[in-house]
Structure formats: C-alpha cells, structure tokens
Amino acid sequence: MRTALLQSSGRPGSIAANLKVLDEAAGRAAAAGAGLLAAPEMFLTGYAIGDDIARLAEPADGDSADAVAELATRHGLALAYGYPERAGETVYNSAQLISADGTRLANYRKTHLFGCFERDHFTPGEQPVVQAELGGLTVGLMICYDVEFPENVRAHALAGTDLLLVPTAQMHPFQFVAESVVPVRAFENQMYVAYVNRVGQEGEFEFVGLSALAGPDGVARTRAGRGDELLLADVDPAFLAASREANPYLRDRRPGLYGSLI
C-alpha cells in the first residue's frame, strides 16, 4: 500500500484552513497512487494553541470527522489525522483513521502525555493498542511520545500490527527520536512505522520535521527534511512477511523472565 505522510503544521487555530491543506495533500497523494495519507499530531487545530484546545475540541464523530470523511471519499484514500477529542468534559489528544469510503475505522487517545503543556490540557487515554484492517494490513495508531516507550510498540507487535501510524509533534532538541529511535522500533518489532511530524516554530515549541516511513529492516523508506513536505513510500506485505521469517526477535522472547519489568 502506497502511504503518504503530510509533514506540515498547517495553520494553527484554524480548522477550516487545515482542512484545506489536508484536501490539497489528499489530492496529490491520491494522484500518486497512495491508499493512505497520514497527517501530524493535532493537525486539525494546531498544537501550541493554549486554551483554544478545549474550545476547538470535538467528539470523534463531530463535524470535523464528517469533513475528513468527505475528503477521504472524494479522493478515494484513507486519512489519519490528529485532533483534540472532546468526550463530555474530558479532552484527549487523539488520532483517528477514516477509510476511503468515509467509515471511521479507529480512534486512539494518547496514553503518554509529554510535559506540563500536555498534562495541563489533556487527559491520558487508557487503551494502548488500537487497530483497524486497511488494504490487507493491520494498521495501529499511536501518538508521538507513545512510540518512545518500548512496551507500547511491543504490545502492537504482539497484537499483529503491520503498519504503525504515529502522528507526531516532535520538537527540538529531541530529533534523535525521529532519526534513530523510530527505525529501531520498526526493526525490533518487525513492522512498518510511519512517523509524521509538524514543522517550524509554534508558540514555545520548535518542531523538527524529519518525518519517515521506516521498514522492518530498520531502514527509512523515505525521510523528510525540516520544511513542509508530502512523502510517499510503499508498505510491502511480502517484504514484511519475509523479514518476520528471517528475524527471530518475537519468536525468541522469554516473557517469563520479564515479569519484574512490568
């Protein structure tokens, strides 16, 4: 499945403007043969928007989800995107996957909140593994800081995730996560990892870009720089199967030795 990554911060504070950015990117991705387009963490609203997070937060099935579903059906590809989700009085940092026919396939709430900013504005989710079937692949969702916890990604590996989508707001000086940690996570868990970041200065944060789609061999199939980009790379089920057969990590685990770690 050809997979597109939209590295962009859009226009923080404007859902309408960000939907236009997503619309344009979806058109380009579909024209290039992509079956899936992934956008960054909090893409619909912007990340560093303070109290506007609560004001702009919507239910998972709200108006913005309907708008994204319309884009997906019009362009004929699945869309994954980050947004602030409202559930009653609670606000989560969430990511949603919508299929090419407009069906809401999966909604994930970030389980590991980073820093005071996120803890001040969000409640952590409690479900570490959220998956959906898409294009013959088992696709999982995670958000930014979550991928830095090996237990989180291993849980996806054990649940059969083939492609892990990680909408991200990765900031300076932690670019080594994009450059080194993400390919290692893909290798040690025998999956593809799509890590799609924001860019540039936003409030107090400087986002570093460097989005990538890493394969189960630990090699990035595509890697962005520090500006706005639309990346394209293929997720190959045959290569994944061969890699899993050759790499014994998951088969050679001894869970009985690890109990004290959890």
Instruction: Mark out the alpha helices in 46-100 (DSSP H runs).
Output: 52-56, 63-75
**Residue 261: inside a domain:** no
Q: Average pLDDT of 190-204? A: 97
**Residue 170: inside a domain:** yes
**Residue 104: inside a domain:** yes
The alpha carbon of 114 is separated from its chain's Cα centroid by a whole number of angstroms, namely: 16
**Residue 117: inside a domain:** yes
Q: Average pLDDT of 98-121? A: 98
**Residue 260: inside a domain:** no
- The residue behind tokens 């107090």 is 204
What was the pLDDT predicted at 259? 83
Give the separation between CA 140 and CA 154, rounded to whole angstroms: 12
**Residue 7: inside a domain:** yes
What was the pLDDT predicted at 143? 98
SS3 137: strand
Q: How far is CA 153 from CA 13, 46, 103, 182, 200, in A?
A: 31, 26, 25, 10, 27
**Residue 166: inside a domain:** yes
- Catalytically active residues, by annotation: 41, 110, 144
Considering only CA atoms, which of 1, 5, 2, 3 is closest in space to residue 229?
5
Q: Residue 235 is part of a domain; what is its CATH number?
A: 3.60.110.10
What was the pLDDT predicted at 260? 81
Number of structural domains found in the chain: 1
Q: How long a stretch of residues is the chain?
A: 262
Give the separation between CA 243 and CA 119, rounded to whole angstroms: 38
- Percentage of residues in the chain having pLDDT higher than 70: 100
Report whether 163 contacts 235 (CB < 8 A): yes
Domain residues for the domain of 46 are 2-253
Residues 46-71 have pLDDT tens digits of 999 999 999 999 999 999 999 999 99
**Residue 127: inside a domain:** yes
